Structure 1
Amino acid sequence: MTRTRRRRWPWVVAGVLALLLTVVAIVVVPILTHVDQGGSNQEEAADAWPLEASAAGDDGRDRHLEIHSVEPGGSVDTSALAPGDRFVVSGTGYDPARGIYVAICAIPDDPAVKPGPCLGGVPADEAVEVPEGTIQFAPSNWINDDWAWRLFGARSYDDPASGTFTAYLEVPATADEKVDCREVACALYTRNDHTASSDRVQDVYIPLGFVG
């Protein structure tokens, strides 16, 4: 019996190592091999405080971003948001091969620069348990269709084929040690997550104003 156990443990260790190496490869290789796709080329909105935005990216994808009220038939005043306000975000046309952050961030002067800092930061990549189908409002949402990243709390795309997603935002404190959205222009943003953080092709935004 003892000899059998001794013969088995090297195979168990080898199996665990193989699994870990597979996960590392799935996570790391796409980051190292990613080639930036260009800019988002967002169209200018006709309204001062729009509820939607569109962009024809250099990668050939037409992206559309919208803000919706939590209440059916309700409205969202994007010019006068306050901490604790909630709204729903939907998008389509995004690249499901890349994850995105959905967050309230400072608008950079140069569109070639990554948006930010962002209120409440961006979602942590620490492993968390989120029950399937749970709706959690948060200062930022992380959308990534890779099963490995979903283990760390990312939400999956609603429909990867069309690049459609839904996010649930709750406005955090509008000022912290990194940014004050009462003093600088901020917006609801989508941008590539840490797997392609230098790639601006999925930067789409809707300007926001704050009263508190």
Structure 2
Amino acid sequence: MRTSLLNRTHGTRNTRTLARTALTLASAAALTVGLASTASAATANRTVTDGTRTYNLALTAPNTAPATGANVTVTGSGYNPDQGVYVGLCAIPAGVNTADPTTWNSKPTPCLGGQDETGTTGASHWVNSDWYWMSPSNSSPFTESGGLGSFSVQIHVKAKISDTVTCGRSGVTCAIVTRADHFDSSDRKYDVYVPVTFQ
């Protein structure tokens, strides 16, 4: 009887010990991930006027990533929900100073995955409130509040954008960006850049 009780007691203690260890490890892992995400994120801001309304755009994305590739979360707020945007990784065009929005006059290109309207690469996300249902694998509507649009999406980034363009080589610098979608691709008002360095 004592042996049986002892075994049960030790079994309970072992189970509790294992559970505590697992909880401690999970908490540590969550803390590490949280710190890494916070430490490696940056926010870019831009104020634009579209029609009669002013929008204070904010784009938050990681500013470092592994060269081999990673899925990253990108968030935005203050956008015009009537103007769809692409979220993706692009080369920063010549003449664009990411610290000076007045220089953001050239379309961010080339971009990883190109203009991925079908969502086959996972390298870009199309945020729009009218036609998102056309591309369910990589598109979603804005979350709207008070006439402003926000989003939180995941995209895949890596240093090699194409066979001839690699971020960090031959003078190529890259950023996670938003830009007006293919319905208004010449509109530069919604270009916002968060520069990213690949390690």
Q: TM-score, normalised by structure 2?
A: 0.64
Structure 1 spans left out of the alignment, 5+ residues:
1-48, 68-75, 129-136
1:117 to 105, 110, 115: 110
Runs of 4+ in 1 over 6 A off after TM superposition: none
Name whichever structure is richer in strand by fraction. 2
* Alignment-derived partner of residue 57 in structure 1: 48
Q: Is the 8 A contact 2:133 2:140 kept in 1?
A: yes
Taking the TM superposition and a 5 Å limit, the aligned residue runs for 1:137-176 are 138-146=122-130, 148-153=131-136, 154-159=139-144, 161-172=147-158, 174-176=160-162
Question: Is residue 2:184 matched to residue 1:196?
Answer: yes
Deviation at 1:176, TM superposition (A): 1.5
- TM-fit CA distance, 1:113: 1.1
Aligned to 1:26: none
Task: Extract unaligned runs of 5+ from structure 2.
Answer: 1-39, 96-103
How far apart, in 2, do the equivalents of 1:144 and 1:202 lie? 13
Q: Does 1:94 align with 2:90?
A: no
Q: Indicate how the Cα distance of structure 1 residues 172 and 120 shifts in structure 2: closer, same or farther if over 3 A, else same.
A: farther
Tell whether 2:186 aligns with 1:186. no
Equivalent pairs, count: 144
**Alpha-carbon spacing, 1:185–1:87, altered in 2? closer, same or farther (3 Å):** same
Secondary structure of residue in 1 paired with 2:183: helix
**Could you tell me how far apart the structure 1 residues matched to 2:135 and 2:64 are?**
33
* RMSD, aligned α-carbons: 2.4
Displacement of 1:106 after TM fit? 0.7
Q: Distance in 2 between matches of 1:175 and 1:53?
A: 22
